[in-house]
Amino acid sequence: MTFLDNCSTCWALAGASAIVFGLLVVHRLFLHHLRTFPGPKLAAITSLYKMYYEVYKGGELLEHILELHAIYGPVVRIAPNELHFNDYTAYADIYVAGSHFTKDHAFYRCFGADGSTFGAIQPHDSRIRRNILSPLFSRRAVLKFEVVVQEKVDRLMSRLADHHGKPINMFLAFRCTAMDIIASYCFSRCFNALDAEGFRDLFVVTTQQAIPSLWVMKYFAFLLPVSAALPRRLTGQFLLAFVNLGRMIAAHIDRILDDTDLLDENDNPTICCRLLNAPKGNDTRSRRDLVEEAFSLLQAGTEGPGNACTIGSFYILNDPIIYKTLFEELRRASPNKDAGLKLSVLEKLPYLTAVIKESLRMSHGLVSPLPRIVGSTNVKISGYDVPARTVVGVSATCLHNDSNAFPDPHKFSPDRWLQPSSRELERHFVPFSRGPRMCLGINLAWCELTLIFGNVFRKLDLDLYDTTVEDFTKFKDFLTPVHQGRNLHVFAKARVD
């Protein structure tokens, strides 16, 4: 074949590609079933629009979506086959009433946890797995675990009091506490993250460094299994935490599988024992499934409570009135600072409860829209006719920052939860999601948040160090919010009153 023949072939291929692309553009702009929904034309043409904000801009898709809603209204087409809504009615239609919707595998595969409850795509599979695990996360089960949570909180208090005038990284301290709690809950074995020097536990620190790789995994999912097989020197900082934690969890799962005594369900059965002892036919769990379930629970159980404690503590310390009001309520409930603080007492304190709710609201939980795929028939979502097979979602941030529900939404105001009308706020309060796929660990999270806030702000005298409100005004979206400012640092000393 001559050079001219090669050129002719290349031109023919280029021409054919241009025609196909042109037809695709025409279809998505003028013939597609979502053509009547508002949004940027480029977003309607290609999913690379989302990829630009997620990968290239590094976690800025949510911020851009909020800007698009300000321009286009309550529903925006953010991809060729995807809509994003920004109101509670849509949230209820999608995540509560729309419980038969499937999860979007293109999104959930980036977590490398297909075998976990969180990664279950089909509602039926999710229901089976949740039925197995739900008894372990019931309020009754959590109350039996209170003594273990208190042990970890006591260890946190001891470590904080021992710093003797040195600034403490509370961002890491809270996450180490949450890590030790959820690890004990899953395995009946503590990882001792709280004992790490400066709270710089290997998994906690490097997981934070790895989070920015999340959206890369979404678009290049083949990298995750490959990275796990690579030598440590090739994985680098970004994937080291996931690889190491996965290996450690896998080793523990292997010990359970090899020791039949560990499979006996005692008074405090672990997550793994519960899954392995599930009635035959309910759900067959492979070793990989067990590792992915444990990995998912550890990540969620560390990042969510850790972030809520960090955000809440900053705003409490940044407002002397809030700080004083909370302390006075805690002192009335426990006049003796050295006495133990029981969950049954703390959870009845209205201002403490309001502080925790406001901390959860402003930390949001999961900020990324959790995409669902509409079933085989058209549905109504917030009054809009949405075609079958459309991907839909709502970010919790839209509800938590809704000024109609929460006036001055960026202000930390526990008092908003103490008003006669506060019950109306509950509809817009979704840090644990809603519906049949809401967070399994809600009872455990409330237990540890209550004990942490109660003990820290009753027994310690804290002062902010080198941290301002600007450090918490902007975050990037990597499923959970990643704030762009400095970590929360404080000085701590034991109270004398």
Residue 36 pLDDT exceeds 60: yes
Looking at residues 430-453, what average pLDDT do you find? 94
Handedness of CA 42, 480, 467, 314 (dihedral sign): positive
Domains of the chain: 81-494 (1.10.630.10)
Looking at residues 379-407, what average pLDDT do you find? 96
Which residues lie across from 491 on neighbouring strands?
A: 463
Per-residue confidence at 487, pLDDT binned at 50, 70, 90? very high
Looking at residues 402-411, what average pLDDT do you find? 95
What tokens appear for 43 in the block?
């977003």
Phi, psi at residue 475, to the nearest 5°?
-135, 160
Burial category of 497 from C-beta neighbours within 10 Å (exposed 0-12, middle 13-18, buried 19 and up): exposed
Residue-level pLDDT at 363: 96
Lowest average pLDDT, out of 178-182, 231-235, 277-281, 414-418, goes to 231-235
Per-residue confidence at 296, pLDDT binned at 50, 70, 90? confident
- Cβ neighbours, 10 Å, residue 317: 19
Phi, psi at residue 160, to the nearest 5°?
-65, -45
Residue 24 pLDDT exceeds 60: yes
**Residue stretches of the annotated binding site:** 439
Handedness of CA 46, 47, 49, 52 (dihedral sign): negative
65 or 15, which is more confident?
65
The string of pLDDT tens digits covering residues 329-374 is 999 999 988 888 999 999 999 999 999 999 999 999 999 999 999 9
Residue 80 pLDDT exceeds 70: yes
Alpha carbons 441 and 300: distance in angstroms, whole number? 9
Per-residue confidence at 162, pLDDT binned at 50, 70, 90? confident
Q: Does an H or E element contain 372, and which?
A: strand 372-373
Looking at residues 227-256, what average pLDDT do you find? 65
Residue 5 pLDDT exceeds 60: no
Residue-level pLDDT at 264: 58
Residue-level pLDDT at 54: 94
Per-residue confidence at 13, pLDDT binned at 50, 70, 90? low
Per-residue confidence at 288, pLDDT binned at 50, 70, 90? confident
Lowest average pLDDT, out of 293-302, 357-366, 398-407, goes to 293-302
Residue-level pLDDT at 226: 67
Per-residue confidence at 238, pLDDT binned at 50, 70, 90? low
Residue-level pLDDT at 159: 95
207 or 234, which is more confident?
207
What is the DSSP secondary structure assignment for residue 474, as one 8-state letter?
-
Residue 401 pLDDT exceeds 70: yes
Residue 164 pLDDT exceeds 80: no
> Helix, strand, coil shares of the chain as percentages rounded to 5?
60, 10, 30
Residue-level pLDDT at 96: 85
> How far is CA 451 from each of CA 130, 190, 277, 303, 381, rounded to the nearest angstrom?
26, 18, 31, 17, 39
Residue-level pLDDT at 12: 62
- Cβ neighbours, 10 Å, residue 231: 6
What is the identity of the amino acid at 351?
Y
Task: Identify whether the C-beta of residue 129 lies closer than 8 Å to the C-beta of residue 117.
Answer: yes
Lowest average pLDDT, out of 39-43, 107-111, 163-167, 285-289, goes to 285-289
Long-range contacts at 221-229 (CB < 8 A, ≥ 24 apart)? 221/109, 221/110, 224/110, 224/112, 225/112
Mean pLDDT of the chain: 87
* Among candidate residues 63, 116, 149, 208, the one with its CA nearest the CA of residue 341: 149
The string of pLDDT tens digits covering residues 257-284 is 776 565 555 556 677 777 777 665 555 5
Share of the chain above pLDDT 70, in %: 85
What is the DSSP secondary structure assignment for residue 342, as one 8-state letter?
-
Residue-level pLDDT at 223: 66
Residue-level pLDDT at 185: 86
Residue-level pLDDT at 237: 55
Residue-level pLDDT at 281: 55
| Single pTM value for the model | 0.91
Angle between helices 350-363 and 320-333 (to 10 degrees): 140
Residue 213 pLDDT exceeds 60: yes
Q: What is the DSSP string of 416-465?
A: GGGSGGGGGGGGG--TT--GGGS-TTHHHHHHHHHHHHHHHHHHEEEEE-
Looking at residues 489-494, what average pLDDT do you find? 94
58 in helix, strand or coil? Answer: coil
Residue-level pLDDT at 426: 92
* Among candidate residues 229, 240, 249, 121, the one with its CA nearest the CA of residue 179: 249
**Residue stretches of the annotated binding site for heme:** 439
Phi, psi at residue 483, to the nearest 5°?
-70, 145
Rounded to a whole number of angstroms, the CA Rg of the chain reads 24
Residue 189 pLDDT exceeds 80: no
Per-residue confidence at 10, pLDDT binned at 50, 70, 90? low
Lowest average pLDDT, out of 22-31, 403-412, 426-435, goes to 22-31
27 or 332, which is more confident?
332
Residue-level pLDDT at 147: 94
Lowest average pLDDT, out of 3-17, 251-265, 381-395, goes to 3-17
The string of pLDDT tens digits covering residues 138-149 is 999 999 999 999
Residue-level pLDDT at 193: 94
- Cβ neighbours, 10 Å, residue 410: 12
Task: Identify whether the C-beta of residue 282 lies closer than 8 Å to the C-beta of residue 276.
Answer: no
